[in-house]
Structure 1
C-alpha cells in the first residue's frame, strides 16, 4: 500500500507559481498533463515530485472549470487508441508555465492505492479513461490551458448530436419505437463471463416485463447520472433477453444509475 492517500496534491512549484500570478508577473496557464505507472520514490512526496513516477505518456487536457472558489477542476483524458502497451495508471501530473522556471509541475494526482487499468490500442474493447484533477488556485481570477484539439467532444456536444440523430427520420433504417421505459441500472448483481462479451467485461441482467430478444434496445442515461456512468465505463452496447435487458461495463457502478430504454422493432416487411 502507498504511503500517501489517493487524491490531488499541490506541488511546491505550483504553490510558488500562485504567488507569482497574484503579484502580476504572469497568468495561470496549464500546459500539459503526463501520466505514469510507478510509485513515489523514498524520500519524496507528491508535493516534491518533479514529474510522474514511471512516466508512460502525455495525456489530453480536455476541459477546465471552476466548481468552487479557490479551486480549478481540470479534466484529463486518455484514449486506448493512443496506448501502445496496457498499463496500470498510478499518477497524473498537471504542468503549468512559470515565468522563471518554464514548465513546472502544478498538481500531482496520486492513484497508487487504486490504480486504473489503461487498455492498449490492440485491445478488442477500447476505452476512454477520464480523470478530474482538483488544482488549488487561491485568489487567482483567470486560468487558461492548452486544450488538446483531439480531445473527445463535450457532453453538451454529444447530447446535441444524439438529438439531431434521433430527429432524423432516415437515421434508424425503418426501425419503429414501440415504447419507452424508465430503467434503474443497479450497483449490485454485476458479474463477468458473458459468452458474447470479451474477457473481463462486467454485465448485469435487468428484468423487464414483455421484452423479447427480437427487440432492439437504446439506453439513454439521465444527464445528472453521466459522471457515474462514465466512471464505471458503462458501454453504449446492450442487448435484449427474454424478459429483460443486458448491459455491459468496465466495472460495477458505485451507485444506481437512472436511465430510460427505448425498445425498437424492425418492420415486418
Structure 2
C-alpha cells in the first residue's frame, strides 16, 4: 500500500498561495499522476510531474479548518493501455499571471501501487489530495460533472431521503422519514404534490423503496 507523507507546495505554489492570502481566487484545475522517482530533484523546484502518466478530473473540494482543503478525484485504469506504478501526484492550479502551475506535489517512492492496464481487471481508486490553502478566503476548483460518488456520499443520500417500506409487518423503530405500506394498491402520479404522513412530497423528491 502506498505511503505518501503529505503534499509539498512548489515554489510556484507558494507564490500563488501568497497571492491568495491577498484576496486572489485559489482555483485548482486538475490532478495528475505519474511513475517518476525522486533521485536528487528538489520538490519545491518542480514545475511538472517527473514522469506524467494521466490527468484526473477533480470531483469535489472541501475546506478543512483551519487552513487546508481536501480535493477529491478518481484514478481508473479504464483507459490505461500500459501499466504503471502510481508513484507521484501533482495538484495543479491557475495563476492568472503565468497560467497553469504545479501547486503541490507528493511521491510515494518504493511503496507505489501498480496500476494494471485495462483488461486486467477494473481498478478505481477514490482519494483526496490534502493541501494547504492558508487563510485564502476564495478557494474553488474545476469540478467535473458527477460520474462517481463515494460510499459515504451514497449512504448519506439514502439516510437523508424519504423511505417507503413494503412489508406485512410494521417497521421497527421508524423515523420521521419512514412510511409503511402493506399494500400499495393504486399507483400514484406525484404531479404537483403528494402528502404522506407528515411529509409533503413534490415532483423533485427522490423516494427509495425498501423491501423488508
TM-score after normalising by structure 1: 0.54
Alignment counterpart, residue 122 of structure 1, candidates 111, 119, 122: 119
Match of 1:105 in 2: 102
- Counterpart secondary structure, 2:122: coil
Match of 1:58 in 2: 55
CA distance in 1, matches of 2:94, 2:148: 24
1:27 aligns with 2:25: yes
Asked if structure 1 preserves the Cα contact closer than 8 Å seen for 2:9 and 2:44, the reply is yes
CA distance in 2, matches of 1:82, 1:150: 18
Going from structure 1 to structure 2, the CA distance change for 1:130 and 1:47 (only over 3 Å counts) comes to farther
CA distance in 2, matches of 1:162, 1:139: 34
Match of 2:81 in 1: 84
Match of 1:14 in 2: 13
- Structure 2: give runs of 5+ residues left out of the alignment: 167-211
Going from structure 1 to structure 2, the CA distance change for 1:52 and 1:19 (only over 3 Å counts) comes to same
Alignment counterpart, residue 43 of structure 2, candidates 42, 46, 54: 46
Match of 1:71 in 2: 68
1:95 aligns with 2:92: yes
Per the TM alignment, residue 142 of structure 1 is displaced from its structure 2 partner at its CA by 2.2
Equivalent pairs, count: 162
- Structure 1: give runs of 5+ residues left out of the alignment: 170-263, 265-269
Going from structure 1 to structure 2, the CA distance change for 1:151 and 1:91 (only over 3 Å counts) comes to farther
User: Could you say which structure has the larger radius of gyration?
Assistant: 2
**TM-superposition CA deviations, 1:190-240 (whole Å, max 9, x none):** xxxxxxxxxxxxxxxxxxxxxxxxxxxxxxxxxxxxxxxxxxxxxxxxxxx
Alignment counterpart, residue 127 of structure 2, candidates 111, 127, 131: 131
CA distance in 1, matches of 2:83, 2:159: 31
CA distance in 2, matches of 1:94, 1:72: 12
**TM-superposition CA deviations, 1:84-130 (whole Å, max 9, x none):** 2221110010000101110011110211131022232212x312113
CA distance in 2, matches of 1:73, 1:157: 15
Per the TM alignment, residue 33 of structure 1 is displaced from its structure 2 partner at its CA by 1.0
Alignment counterpart, residue 140 of structure 1, candidates 124, 136, 142: 136
Q: Between the two structures, name the one with larger relative contact order (CA 8 Å, sep ≥ 6).
A: 2
CA distance in 2, matches of 1:167, 1:84: 45
Asked if structure 2 preserves the Cα contact closer than 8 Å seen for 1:18 and 1:138, the reply is yes
Asked if structure 2 preserves the Cα contact closer than 8 Å seen for 1:29 and 1:143, the reply is yes
